[in-house]
Homo-oligomer: A and B are copies of this chain.
Amino acid sequence: MFEIRTDLALETREMYKENKQQEIPGVEVEKYEKDIATITYVKVLDEQGSQIMGKPKGVYITIESKSLKQADSDIKDKMSKLLAEELVQLVPKKKKFKTLVVGLGNWDITPDALGPQVISKVFVTRHYFEAYGKIEDPTMRQVSAIAPGVMGTTGIETVDIIKGIVEKTQPDLVIAVDALASRRMQRVYTTIQISDTGIRPGGGVGNKRKELSKETLGVPVLAIGVPTVVDAATLTNDTIKLVIEHLCEQSEKGSQFYNLLKEISDEDKYALIRDALEPYGANMIVTTKDIDTIIRNISQIIANAINIAIHPGIDLKDVNRYLR
């Protein structure tokens, strides 16, 4: 239905509303302000909603804040706390459970390295439990973590690698972290999306067998994602739309020109743009120059939030002590 690439449920819903001037049937939306962020819940309630959205049933939480990309350590702590509070509602309410954190993406390519960088900062404890033969601890829960790489580097579907590890280590929960693509440049580095519906490595919709999800892995999969790029076709498309709107405003409604412009369908435009950009190759992305620093800061926020949400003995006061 919507060919424009976005991994954010928020944006899929936004595009639907823009086009159809109504809420998606079977989808419920709640939005509120909290401290320095805007939090939106997009709940996909039934099959119809799921089909229109092109996303599985479940809850998609978006935390938006311009502050996400700031280096200020107080603000980083606030963002960690906000994210931890949302995560806590989605992790098991049990005294002991085991978590596997999966960092999707390629650590060698900066805009794709968010997942692996989170892995290298998360507080991993499983080996201590194993070494001392413990199964419970008042301050820690069992956490393991892996950055499996991407199919282009491994030659293996990520879900197959993770399935093997899940079988060997029997976690009760998988948390998957990935860099996302957004439709709008202003959401890049300013938005965190959490969902309880799993994730497809590499993004996009497609083959269900390739998802990390309860169906494929047998345990609940919590996904955390942050948009780090806009693809060039999407950006161009949105800009053209603004240009055409501007032209329409300047011509008389009902004039032939106005009608001609209106007639160009979204699908046609997007196809044209794709064609025009094709010679430049699939690797073309739009991003910002200071991406290295920003990815490092956001990976710290996410690792801290996971540490707070999982380990009963870690809170905001001492969370930076557990960062590696």
Contact = CB atoms under 8 A, between A and B. Distances in A.
A124 B152 contact: yes
Contact of A165 (B110, B156, B276): B156
Contacts of A324: 71, 153, 293
Contact of A236 (B76, B149, B163, B240): B240
Interface in A123-167: 124-127, 130, 142-149, 151-157, 160-161, 163-165, 167
A88 interface: no
Interface string A90-115: 00000000000000000111111000
A59 to B, nearest CB: 28
Interface residues of A, number: 84
Contacts of A50: none
A205 interface: no
Contacts of A142: 155
Contacts of A155: 124-127, 142-145
A35 B87 CA distance: 36
Interface in A201-224: none
B149 A149 contact: no
A240 B272 CA distance: 10
Nearest to A126: B155
A284 B286 CA distance: 7
Contacts of A169: 156, 160
A95 to B, nearest CB: 19
A154 B124 contact: yes
A153 B119 CA distance: 7
A10 interface: no
Contacts of A71: 320-321, 323-324
Contacts of A154: 124, 126, 144-146
A311 to B, nearest CB: 13
Nearest to A125: B155
B186 A276 contact: no
Given A74-B320, A143-B155, A240-B236, A283 B272 contact: no
A285 B289 contact: yes
Nearest to A111: B289
A288 interface: yes
A120 B154 CA distance: 9
A33 interface: no
A271 to B, nearest CB: 10
B164 A151 contact: no
Interface of A: 70-74, 76-77, 107-112, 116, 119-120, 124-127, 130, 142-149, 151-157, 160-161, 163-165, 167-169, 185-186, 232, 235-236, 238-240, 242-243, 246-247, 251, 256-257, 260, 264, 269, 272-273, 276-277, 279-281, 283-290, 292-293, 318, 320-321, 323-324
8 contacts: A72-B318, A108-B120, A145-B154, A164-B164, A164-B168, A240-B243, A257-B257, A285-B287
Which 9 interchain pairs have the tightest Cβ spacing?
A: A164-B164, A126-B155, A144-B155, A185-B280, A283-B288, A124-B155, A242-B276, A73-B73, A72-B320
